[in-house]
Chains A and B, each alone.
Chain A
Amino acid sequence: MITGKAVKNFSINFSQRLNEHAELLGHEKALQRAGLDTDKILALYQTMVLTRTFDSKAIALQRTGRLGTYASCLGQEAIGTAIGHMLEASDVFVQAYRETAALLKRGVKMQEILLYWGGDERGSDYQACPQDLPPAVPIASQCLHAVGIAYAMQLEAKRTGQEQRVCLVVCGDGATSKGDFYEALNAAALWQLPLVFVICNNQWAISLPRSLQSHSQTLAQKAIAADIPAIQIDGNDVLGCYETVQLAIKQARGGHGPQLIEAITYRLSDHTTADDAKRYRTEEELQQAWEKEPIKRLSQYLLDSQRASQSVLDNIQNQCTQDVEAAVDIYLATEPQPCSSMFEFLYQDCPVHLQEQLASLKGENHGQ
């Protein structure tokens, strides 16, 4: 038998701060070190509640014919919230299509998100964070876009000497089976880019369960092949998510190359409003997942630790409901784009044949 010696060992750590019983693991001081005082924790709670309130309203709008297909983020609010709170305004966030929590914290307006899912591309023109990318429906394609962005950021920092900006990209568990994902890992590590990968492992790629997605025990370990530091975390533990994302962004910003986080969460919703998950997953599994969901867990902790009273939490909920209603009113009152707008974004100088089409369109649509 040929003998050999280990040239590379690896292990993947699992990290958690607030477990599914709302018990704090480790010392309170760790929270303080991460900047997680009561105000900050309540701010995280507010983002999660706003996200869920918005999410359920968006589904109601779709069910009543006032929104197109919508991808709910029910149950996945914690990891998105942590991302949204940790990125700097100058950083770039690259989403998949279920990152409502992060978007809201980035300053994306709720009416913008509704416009996008309502089929109005003006919703993708985020006023608060114009460099953030719109939803990437083709699976894993955004990982490569993020590599390009991070590459540009690296060049920019070298040229200007300014502080390194960071790009953070989110993909799902299904995306990790795609070539785009592996290519992105390879390039990002090779060039030591300021890029953080977050795998939002919600256990389902439409109807394909995690167990049939990959033989790998963890998805985080896929980063090992590219020699990217990787960690698995409880994605429903917003405090732990916050700490981990914070550290990963710090490492990426400090020139230590790309980082990868696998956040274990659960898609409590259907894949989209055009799906019925009851057809492929059991009620029992869903009930078990509800026991671990992030908002109940954090509210439990806030009450148990006497950081907040029930009335404080109720006020947060009421304010979120009002904010969502106000945004929905703005969305519903938005005039649709005129047909002529389809000509406006293809060319800087509109070619003659398209100008003619535009003229004939305007001629046929008096008053529009």
Chain B
Amino acid sequence: MTLFKLPDLGEGLVEAEIVEWFCKEGDTITADSLMVALETAKAIVDIPSPQTGKVVKLFGQVGDIIHTGDPLLEFASSETSTQEKTISDKETASSVVGVLSTEHEAVKESASAVSQHSHSGIKATPAVRALASRMDIDLSIVTPSGPQGTIKTSDVQRVAKILANVGALQPLKGPRRAMAKAMEQAHSEVVSVTINDDADISTWPQHSDVSCRLIRALLIACTAEPGLNAWYDSHSIGRRLIKAVHLGLALDTKDGLFVPVIKDVQDYKAAALREKINDLKIQVQQRKIPAEALRGNTITLSNFGAIGGKYANPIIMPPTVAILGAGRSFESVKVNAGHIEAATFLPLSLSFDHRSITGAEAGRFLQSLINDLQQAQ
């Protein structure tokens, strides 16, 4: 048996539609006789038979789309010519303009943000570019004063002088550099929406552990709306719902932001949880946290209330799809059955990735979270 697979009929074509078969199963056809007509993105092309032989199977009807590299027709084995044997060998024969892989699985390319140092659209002569390069000036920050927006030598010198006055560029290093890259990636990839609301925590006993209560509420909300405890794959456009909750906990240090992960946070009792959080804090402060403890979170909590601020638009780190921010609790009034009462509120900010989560799902998630937070115990 010899399979004839659809070759690339143009330059980098990935599929073709069957327009007409000129043979049917059982026919014996001769080499170079008209076999099938296919329509590609470029043209309708007649495909001759690659060999003489009996057709035993056609892999498609008129109107079907065949991917490049997929079987189109099968010949019964006959007197095997050299030509026949090599059909597949030469399948990847490349043209002078290059060859495209015949796999039709999508080629995976990582998205990258448009470089901030891209010089496209900048008008400057080679001499000015060379000067900027020597003086380490990014031309994208130089305001041009030349005709039609060209950057002149004097523009580069002006910016160099200003920069000399403000001092040398301080490169971001370590966690701060990691944060810069991670935030840039998150900003370019994620379609983020933030919902804000307050939980009435007036009934909480004094000295309640806010972090532990938030984590408990998160777990309940994750059960109510599992879509928020998930990883999203933007290449394949798909998501993985994750049963266990691995909680990323945003912690501030003088070196920058750390997000250590509490694996299987649902298995912790309140006391053990507090101990774990304290441990993580110490590890992070001392920079002794192992790298694997900073990976694999399925959802994130940023409890910045102790530092300050009420609401935020927390940034979601791919592949996770949700992050909860909690601000500083505040005293305010609430209206209860027509009466004004004093109450304590915990301000909440839930960011979710709208590519995989609907607004209603996020709303229900937040509501079930609030319902739990409003329990006294």
Residues of A within 8 A of B8 (CB): 65
A116 and B32 alpha carbons, distance in the complex (Å): 21
Residues of B within 8 A of A65 (CB): 5-8, 50, 87, 90-91, 93
A309 and B195 alpha carbons, distance in the complex (Å): 90
User: In the complex, are the beta carbons of B90 and A63 less than 8 A apart?
Assistant: no
A335 CB → nearest B CB, Å = 9
User: In the complex, are the beta carbons of B93 and A66 less than 8 A apart?
Assistant: yes
- Total interface residues on A, CB under 8 Å, equals 27
B97 at the interface (CB under 8 A from A): yes
User: In the complex, are the beta carbons of B93 and A68 less than 8 A apart?
Assistant: yes
Find A63's partner among B46, B91, B99 (CB 8 Å cutoff): B46
Q: Of all chain A residues, which has the CB nearest B44?
A: A276
A274 at the interface (CB under 8 A from B): yes
A108 at the interface (CB under 8 A from B): no
Secondary structure at chain B's binding surface: helix, strand, loop or mixed? loop
A329 at the interface (CB under 8 A from B): yes
Residues of A within 8 A of B94 (CB): 68, 118-119
Residues of A within 8 A of B46 (CB): 63
User: In the complex, are the beta carbons of B97 and A69 less than 8 A apart?
Assistant: yes
Q: Of all chain B residues, which has the CB nearest A68?
A: B95
Find A273's partner among B10, B50, B99 (CB 8 Å cutoff): B10
Question: Considering the complex, which residues of chain A in the window 44-85 have a beta carbon less than 8 Å from any beta carbon of chain B?
Answer: 57, 60, 62-69
Residues of B within 8 A of A273 (CB): 9-10, 45
Number of A-B contacts (CB under 8 A): 89
Question: Considering the complex, which residues of chain A in the window 266-281 have a beta carbon less than 8 Å from any beta carbon of chain B?
Answer: 270, 273-276, 278-279
Question: Considering the complex, which residues of chain A in the window 125-147 have a beta carbon less than 8 Å from any beta carbon of chain B?
Answer: 135, 137
A273 and B50 alpha carbons, distance in the complex (Å): 16
Residues of A within 8 A of B93 (CB): 65-68, 118-119
A69 and B83 alpha carbons, distance in the complex (Å): 19
User: In the complex, are the beta carbons of B96 and A68 less than 8 A apart?
Assistant: yes
User: In the complex, are the beta carbons of A60 and B48 less than 8 A apart?
Assistant: yes
User: In the complex, are the beta carbons of B89 and A332 less than 8 A apart?
Assistant: yes
A352 at the interface (CB under 8 A from B): no
Knowing A64-B87, A333-B86, the reply to whether A119 touches B96 (Cβ < 8 A) is yes
Residues of A within 8 A of B44 (CB): 276, 278
Shortest 9 CB-CB distances between A and B: which pairs? A65-B7, A68-B95, A276-B43, A119-B94, A69-B95, A64-B50, A66-B90, A274-B10, A332-B86
Residues of B whose CB lies within 8 Å of any CB of A are 4-11, 32, 42-50, 81-83, 86-87, 89-91, 93-97, 99
Offer 19 A-B interface pairs, CB within 8 angstroms, sorted by A. A63-B9, A63-B47, A64-B87, A65-B6, A65-B90, A65-B93, A66-B86, A68-B95, A69-B10, A69-B11, A119-B94, A119-B95, A273-B9, A273-B45, A274-B42, A275-B42, A332-B89, A333-B82, A333-B86
